[in-house]
Amino acid sequence: MCTTKTLMAAAIAAGLLVGVQSARAHCDGLDGPVVAAAQNAWQSGDANRAPIWVRLQDADEIKKTCQDTLAMRKLGSQAQAFADHYLFETLVRIHRAGENARHTGLKPAGRDPGPAIPAADKAIETGAERDLAQLPTEEVRRGLRKHLNEVLEKKNFAPDASMSRPM
């Protein structure tokens, strides 16, 4: 009986660690804050607005890329689209490197960011962390409930019944 309880406790603990999803990155999306900083920079004509989401040591590279982009944008709509994409891609790549995260390219706008991103955005907008602070508790409860139910289903396992179940 002690082994069963130990296994159940271990399964629940593992569920808590695995079941709580980390916030999905939205910085690599075309509608994320990194691209918004780039758009703000070229709309204002101020390259200093672009590097807000990168490490200080990378700011000069971003400013230079932004200045090049501003110059290229004047060459026509095709050059503008190319320059914008290059700036967005560069900014996101350098931002992700600063997070020690892999860069897998720009993602389309409109993706589902999950519950954490909107809660964080709301907390930033309002300055109130209430909804953001409640989110991990709810996620832990959902993960705990899911994994406890899985363990409880297996609690009364009958060894000879395993032969009749598909694997």
Band the pLDDT of 165: cuts 50, 70, 90.
low
101-130 pLDDT per residue, tens: 999 999 999 998 888 888 888 888 888 888
pLDDT mean over 1-5 = 48
4-57 pLDDT per residue, tens: 454 444 444 444 443 333 345 688 899 999 999 889 888 888 888 888 999 999
Question: Would you give the distance in Å from CA 133 to the centre of its chain?
Answer: 17
51-67 pLDDT per residue, tens: 899 999 999 999 999 89
Say yes or no to pLDDT of 137 above 70.
yes
Residue 7 to residue 22: CA distance in whole angstroms:
25
Residue 45 to residue 37: CA distance in whole angstroms:
12
Taken in order 73, 75, 77, 83, the sign of the CA dihedral is negative
Please state which of the ranges 64-68, 88-92, 140-144 shows the lowest mean pLDDT. Answer: 140-144
Residue 49 has a pLDDT of 87
Residue 83 has a pLDDT of 92
Say yes or no to pLDDT of 157 above 70.
yes
